[in-house]
Amino acid sequence: MSRKGSFTPIQHNGYIKFYKKGIFKSKWIQVYFVLYSDSTFKWFKEAKDEKPLGSIFLKDMISHICIGKQIDKISSKKPPILEVWDPMLLIAIPENENAKNVSWFYFESLASMTKWLNEIICTLPKRHRQLFESTEDDYGNISKFRFV
């Protein structure tokens, strides 16, 4: 299964909150994400859209992804989150190695975040898969689910 114009199979897809930065106003929006088997991560305003709002090749950014408490390590400005949101369900992915531009994602639940992380792991070369520690059963330590 792949999207029109792409020969790479889809690994996983669904809706996630994304922090959309604008010139005058920035806000969290619900967008449609597609993770391809080659670790390309694209997001679209709507599932039917052909042109993505953004894209990151996760294999290239593996050591720079921050999850939960790890986002404190990012020097760029962090987006505001609603009081009812759990900061442990935030993921920050820099668009390049200098982390000047960071894409922010918020998951509605630990189960959703864990599913996405497991699918991302499946797209990585075997040597990178060993760098993960799954803590699905230990919510307080979700930040161990990381790249070392």
Q: What is the pLDDT along the chain (148 residues), one digit of tens a residue?
A: 455 556 889 999 999 999 998 889 999 999 999 999 999 999 999 999 999 999 999 988 887 888 888 888 887 888 988 889 999 999 999 887 766 789 999 999 999 999 999 999 899 887 666 666 544 444 333 444 443 3
- Is residue 104, in this structure, part of any structural domain at all? yes
- Is residue 70, in this structure, part of any structural domain at all? yes
Report the candidate in 61, 46, 45, 50 with the shortest Cα–Cα distance to residue 124: 61
Give the CATH number of the domain where residue 140 resides.
2.30.29.30
Which range marks the domain in which residue 132 is found? Answer: 10-144
- Is residue 86, in this structure, part of any structural domain at all? yes
- Is residue 133, in this structure, part of any structural domain at all? yes
Structural domains counted in the chain: 1
- Is residue 4, in this structure, part of any structural domain at all? no
- Is residue 89, in this structure, part of any structural domain at all? yes
The first and second tokens of residue 120, run together, are 């991302």
CA dist., res. 144 & res. 148, Å (int) = 9
